[in-house]
A and B are shown apart, each in its own frame.
Chain A
Amino acid sequence: MAEHLKIDFTHNQAAHCENGVVSNLMRHNGFEISEPMVFGIGSGLLFSYLPFLKVNYAPVFTYRSMPGFIFNKFAKRTGIKMKREKFTNPELAKKRLDQNLANNNPVGLQVGVYNLIYFPDEYRFHFNAHNMVVYGKEGDRYLISDPVMEDVTSLTSKELEKVRFAKGAFAPKGHMYYPTAFPEELELKSAIVKGIKQTSRDMTAPVPIVGVKAMKWVAKNIRKWPKKLGTKKANHYLGQIVRMQEEIGTGGGGFRYIYGAFLQEASEILKNDQLMELSKEMTSIGDAWRDFAVDASRIYKNRNAESSGYDDVAAQLEALAAREESFFKTLKKSV
């Protein structure tokens, strides 16, 4: 292939990588779709607690659905066809990427963060569900549009191979994806309704590890942590909650603000005033999550001191669970 190959691709920064990649690929193909729209239609919002699964020596808390899930649901609900490829052989993975670039097709890639050299060291953990777009190649350098970055960047073929074949949980295995066919017009209205229905259902599901039930479970455990695990570990776990809630890509408040933006946009498209009101309530819930983070950080700020604030933050989390429970029950009936 040519050594200078640059597809005319517009990089737009986003809060979250997966939404950002989808939104940018859609715009490249002539569909003006915002990041919150991708997130809402793809039912990205969630809360989940997996105490039996440990990452960085703490349980897994997540404020979003599984990697890849958002794009899958979004594509299905709007009538887009997409292609996904995974590889065991890095050479083949590179060849398929080069072929797509030669065909003027920018592609999405799933990558690991640990060897992503343009991230600050402190942010480089073994997290394998990051997403980026490759839109060209100059010499040995691949041109990268990473949605969480303000500007485009680049990686050598060796650096790119390393992140595409990162190992551990959710190993990307060279995962490459791109849309292949579009309907004449996107079925936005029905897609929005489906997205909202599923999020409302999941958040109020009678399962202990997801939605408001999971939030209540975490709250219950927070009360036990200091006695059961000691202050140090309890603080480490509390810090993990806040990090997952506010890590790069959440848009703040554990994705609640992005969801508020989605409801606002959805209200205009569906001409549904109730959604506008619910957007305001979602914003206020997001603010409560931020308050929870501030209070949790007061506890773990002093790492070794005795702290008594655990019951307080647990109570805040329970209040959040109650608010979200009533919120999603109302949201479900509003569309």
Chain B
Amino acid sequence: MKKEEVPQDKSNLASANIREMMYAVDENGKYTTSLSTGWDPKTIALDNAIKEIEERIALAKERVANNQTSPIEYYMELHKMDLTVLASYVGLWKWRVKRHFKPSVFNKLSDKTLQKYADVFDISINQLKTFNGGAS
């Protein structure tokens, strides 16, 4: 890549005042560095990944409203986690976390266990328990 070709596309890096450093060659063929504001092919990939996560969050919310899963799964998605990451944060086996997705199991969880999840999600036990996905 030549220095003048270092892309300066619009991206959400600007929101945090970040420009990233790229390596490129100058007119004499010598390597140098140059700052980039973003590059469309990458931005699209990132936007798609974010949309994917938003869809997962919306779906989890709907499933909570329909009593098909517990609020734990919703907050897991909200925090861009998967089962492996969440299990690691709460210090429980994956199969146990998965079991806590069942509304019937969730409703019987001790405050001690609920507190672990609440701490990871940075909310109160009450917020965790009362989240109903918008169901009336």
Query: Which residues does A use to contact B, with CB under 8 Å?
Result: 13-15, 36, 54, 56-57, 114, 118-126, 148-150, 167-169, 171, 235-236, 239-240, 242-243, 246-249, 251-253, 257-258, 260-261, 264-265, 279-280, 283, 286-287, 290, 293-294, 296-297, 300-301, 303
Contacts and interface: CB of A to CB of B under 8 A. Distances in A.
Nearest to B33: A15
Contacts of B40: 297
B78 to A, nearest CB: 12
Nearest to A147: B21
B124 interface: no
Given A168-B85, A168-B88, A300 B45 contact: yes
Contact of A15 (B13, B22, B85): B22
A300 B44 CA distance: 8
Interface string B19-47: 11111110001110101100111101111
A287 B1 contact: yes
Nearest to B29: A280
A316 B82 CA distance: 32
Contact of A257 (B1, B13, B29, B30): B1
Given A36-B23, A118-B16, A150-B19, A167 B41 contact: no
B23 A251 contact: yes
Q: Of residues A118, A253, A297, which shows the largest number of chain B Cβ atoms within 10 Å of its Cβ?
A: A297
B18 A149 contact: yes
A225 B47 CA distance: 21
Contact of B84 (A168, A240, A249, A279): A168
10 contacts: A56-B82, A57-B52, A119-B18, A126-B80, A242-B45, A251-B23, A251-B33, A253-B1, A257-B31, A303-B51
Contacts of B17: 150
B41 A252 contact: no
B21 A242 contact: no
Contacts, number: 129
Given A122-B50, A168-B89, A300-B48, A258 B23 contact: yes
Contact of B80 (A125, A258, A265): A125
A148 B18 CA distance: 8
Contacts of B89: 167-168
Nearest to A260: B31
Nearest to A247: B42
B109 interface: no
B113 interface: no
A242 to B, nearest CB: 5
Contacts of A249: 20
Contacts of B52: 57, 236
B12 interface: yes
Contacts of A293: 41-42
B18 A126 contact: no
B81 interface: yes
A242 B42 contact: yes
B87 to A, nearest CB: 9
Contacts of B82: 54, 56-57
A239 B18 CA distance: 22
A145 B11 CA distance: 23
B58 interface: no
